Amino acid sequence: MALYAAAAAVLAGVESRQGSIKGLVYASSFQNVKQLYALVCETQRYSAVLDAVIASAGLLRAEKKLRPHLAKVLVYELLLGRGFRGGGGRWKPLLDRHQVRLKAELARLKVHRGVSRNEDLLKVGCKPGPASQVPRFVRVNTLKTCSDNAIDYFKRQGFSYHGRASSLEDLRALKGKCFLLDPLLPELLVFPAQTDLHEHPLYQAGHLILQDKASCLPAMLLAPPPGSHVIDACAAPGNKTSHLAALLKNQGKIFAFDLDAKRLASMATLLARAGVSCCQLAEEDFLAVSPSDQRYRQVQYILLDPSCSGSGMLTRHLEEPGAGTPNKERLRALAGFQQRALCHAFTFPSLQRLVYSTCSLYQEENEDVVWHALQQSSGTFRLAPVLPSWPHRGLSTFPGAEHCLRASPETTLTGGFFIAVLERVEVPSLTGRSIGTRTYTQPSPKEKEEAV
């Protein structure tokens, strides 16, 4: 099966330091990148366990044509995964010949280590931490359906809907086939951690987007009204772009830029599945995009989610096994690019509102970048106070930094994230008058009920 060969190739590439899991997955020719990514991450997580079982069972000695990385993927599926998908192709008969021995070696390993669960076999460094408790967030794609219809579909499938969550504790308590509506985003459904919906028909039809809650905040806080012109400066893989299109109701224009041709190709597939029709993709460096180009004269909204260290990603330890804090030189280079991108965004003449976000935990890529850009703007832009009840704020490194938002598995039950909303202090209108800035605050319970 092509999935297993692609997963084995990614694992081999990671081992030979050709790139990160995510980079190699996007560079592969396998179309379902999320399915491939999930399989590779889980196989990598259990790598040491699989190596021990394969060696004890003598699998590679008995099947000399079976390559080690492919063996690891296949044994993961057999013993720890969901079983062979699509029948398993020509690999299922091969593994069936060794199934009894492999299962016996896994059981023997558990006895030897004094554990009863597969998860307990993981090394201390790989055992699930707070990140493993983060729920599965699912954004309803309002270009194709609505929350009520999605909820009804899940209920018909035997899921139990418990209404709108009122606290993080409600989300932590989710188990089994129960789900909730997020208390902040009316189009966000919440399922128990580790719920796998990659094969769900609504996901495959583009009615659902599997997207962490923190990753949904940038588009929500940018809040471009239908008809707006928007730039998504570093757009791939495209979840935020599809969210912008949903907020626009496909009315207006999104100019989406990214330098990676393969990631853009995957993004085009994602957007087509999501029913996005208002987006123009360009394989171009945002820093090379001219603010004076007439195509962008009406752009009032920019979403800037630039390349970063990825230190807040839930699967970071799998992205680059053994990776710790990036060295100062790499952080300095990333922050330099982020500062240039943010300052460049400020030069678009009609810009009214901008969201800067990263999946980084480091001050150098977050508060420091925002403070540098604000100083360079000479008072033209300011931080907008947003979501006053959000529990995790920016680090107090400069006056007003508390208007920034942070997120983490421990404090918000999401991936690690940083968001700053910046707005022009005065926006010239076509009549010559100035438009005052606006503040995005958390909606009241009544407003949120009406928005559903």
Identify the active-site residue in 279, 308, 359, 404. Answer: 359
The answer to whether the CB of 358 falls within 8 A of the CB of 305 is: yes
Q: Is 359 a catalytic residue?
A: yes
Q: How many Å is the Cα radius of gyration of the chain?
A: 23
The answer to whether the CB of 405 falls within 8 A of the CB of 419 is: yes
235 Cβ partners below 8 Å, 6+ apart? 241, 256, 257, 258, 264, 267, 281
**Alpha carbon distance 109, 133 (integer Å):** 26
Catalytic machinery residues: 359
